[in-house]
Structure 1
């Protein structure tokens, strides 16, 4: 992966994270409905699909780099759990504090009252959205639904990539039953990222002319905006509702209720990144600011929602100053969190490898890997 494309993926990651945060701040219970257009356009959910495409791209790249299933499992597991565990603990603490201050800011639809042991069990197993289990909300941290989906995609891809024969088929079928159809409905966008990595790794960007690349890079966002303008998401949602009637499609599908529209977003995102890969193939300059923000994007994503609820409880007066505090405060908490946890992933992995090497019977460490 060249530097230009890597940098642009970080730009998209940061932008998508900020869109998610602002979309949640736009809830009427936080900001009186003054920014309802973001809720009406459902921009936050669309941004998550951008994450999925980038995730599929990066994981496909990482799997080829990791070379072995133990390395892949170790790197993917430590990446998720090193941030998720402290995020769950922070969520529980913030929720307990906020409820004591103002229980009314924790409505049932946006808060799952779980004991700490159950929150950790369901969160750390990523099973909170899997079809084989009852869906649960992890305190106020609703955005963690996407990690349940992502973990399933990591597992499915790891089995498909590193295993073979009848064993691969049997395990994949078992996993499909475990994860359920809701999770699988959004996987096409993730697999588009995998396809894109394979295409670019094979030199696909070099086959595009500059003119074609510009059309792809800028045409895809224009198509997305045009679809929003003419109401394509609503039309597709209506078709889904009619096809699933008399069942309520939003209740049955939950976060996958716009799976057709989400697949289209995946197509737009894939086309855009493909074009940018060609336009940036000779870009060699880096941007430390973008890298710094991207290094905290995961942390901001997994901490901002419980932070918003706590701010709502502590500062009940609905003012423009509080609106600004929602933005600055929730992002600041994510940045502090990243400094403590997300940015220290390399050191954590080194410590874990040292412990594994110390306690393994052979005294040998697992395959070396540089993150």
Structure 2
């Protein structure tokens, strides 16, 4: 077991990486949603997908660290993860539905293709169960396309719990059932998330000198830029689809898996080196970085509905940089106002989550054989 603590400098740097990744996704969507079309967009990052890969790896790292340091029980783990996810995802999903329904009344022609609104009673529970990427399903909710990654992320939390809180035969049975349920797309990208777990458990195994740390720290960035500039990522994306042996199983959101693996390699090297380079300077910026990072999840989810709402209801001069600046300011304001009552107040959601978890635990108590099977087998992780 790795009982080492994360240094303050590394913790702040990971927060900075998380915030920068969210900003990259936002800027990339200005291009992807055709909101920014002027010549100046060549200065914008377009690699939002790579930022999500960074999120996956950071998530595996932080979740592993949290479980080791806090000695979570399975119940506290579920409550913590559910509180974190639903305190932001649920309000934003419901707010998006409300705003979209209003927009549809005034500009129905601009809201074409949103068939999910015809059966909200199915799709709201469906998306709150994060089933949008299971097996051959490929569904993002309404005007929140970034939600796709939660269809991976949340199930990786579940799979990790099966590996961490169980042992022996129970681990094999519980993990196998869950693994088979989530399907091939999640299998393809699960190694990226697990690399974060691996990084946490091994980030002090091979100490680096300052020289080697700096070479790896900056070299990984340079290598990534060369990888993108040469178009190697595009070649790997095409190759991955060509060698995929199951023609009837669409890769969908996992179609870039080979490129994702290489991006993960660069991220892994960079973050490993970050534990050894001199980051003392970053402590001076701790407060603003931690504050900005604390709004990351809200920013990641809310920016797309804001952009789509503006796009569907106003005539935009997409070539003007002022249009993009206005939308970014609107995204920033929405992130702050919504995040202030959701992500910043997630502890307020915890009692409700605990109540729901206890309800399901009580329901399961009527099936003693099932309880016996799913009860964690490592006593230290579920006692107390």
Please confirm whether the aligned pair reaches a TM-score higher than 0.5, indicating the same fold.
yes
Higher relative contact order (CA 8 A, sep 6+): 2
Q: 1:234 to 1:38 in 2, by over 3 A?
A: farther
The TM-score normalised by the length of structure 1 is 0.87
The correspondence for 2:277, drawn from 276, 279, 288, is: 279
Of the structure 1 ranges 318-327 and 138-147, higher mean CA displacement relative to structure 2 is found in 318-327
SS across alignment from 2:237: helix
Aligned-partner Cα distance in 2 for 1:30–1:230? 27
Look up the match of 2:341.
340
Q: CA deviation at 1:30?
A: 2.1
Q: CA deviation at 1:351?
A: 6.7
The correspondence for 2:47, drawn from 23, 31, 43, is: 43
The correspondence for 1:60, drawn from 53, 60, 64, is: 64
Q: 1:350 to 1:210 in 2, by over 3 A?
A: farther
Aligned-partner Cα distance in 1 for 2:194–2:33? 35
Alignment of 1:98-113 (within 5 A): 98-108=103-113, 112-113=116-117
Look up the match of 2:201.
198
- 8 Å contact kept, 2:84–2:346: yes
Gaps in structure 1 of 5+ consecutive residues: 362-366
- 1:216-238 Cα shifts (integer Å, max 9, x gaps): 11111110000011111111122
Look up the match of 2:3.
none
Aligned-partner Cα distance in 2 for 1:333–1:352? 25
Aligned-partner Cα distance in 2 for 1:185–1:91? 30
Aligned-partner Cα distance in 1 for 2:357–2:82? 15
Are 1:296 and 2:289 matched, yes or no? no
Aligned-partner Cα distance in 2 for 1:101–1:286? 45
Q: CA deviation at 1:241?
A: 2.9
Q: 1:230 to 1:253 in 2, by over 3 A?
A: same
Alignment of 1:136-147 (within 5 A): 136-147=139-150
Look up the match of 1:364.
none
Task: State the 4+ residue runs in structure 1 displaced beyond 6 angstroms.
Answer: 354-357
Q: 1:114 to 1:161 in 2, by over 3 A?
A: farther
Look up the match of 1:116.
120
Alignment of 1:1-371 (within 5 A): 1-27=6-32, 29-32=34-37, 34=39, 37=42, 42-64=46-68, 65-108=70-113, 112-113=116-117, 115-131=119-135, 134-200=137-203, 203-204=204-205, 207-244=207-244, 247=247, 252-280=250-278, 285=284, 287-318=286-317, 320=320, 321-349=322-350
Aligned-CA RMSD value:
2.8
Q: CA deviation at 1:148?
A: 1.1
Gaps in structure 2 of 5+ consecutive residues: 1-5, 363-379
Aligned-partner Cα distance in 2 for 1:83–1:67? 22
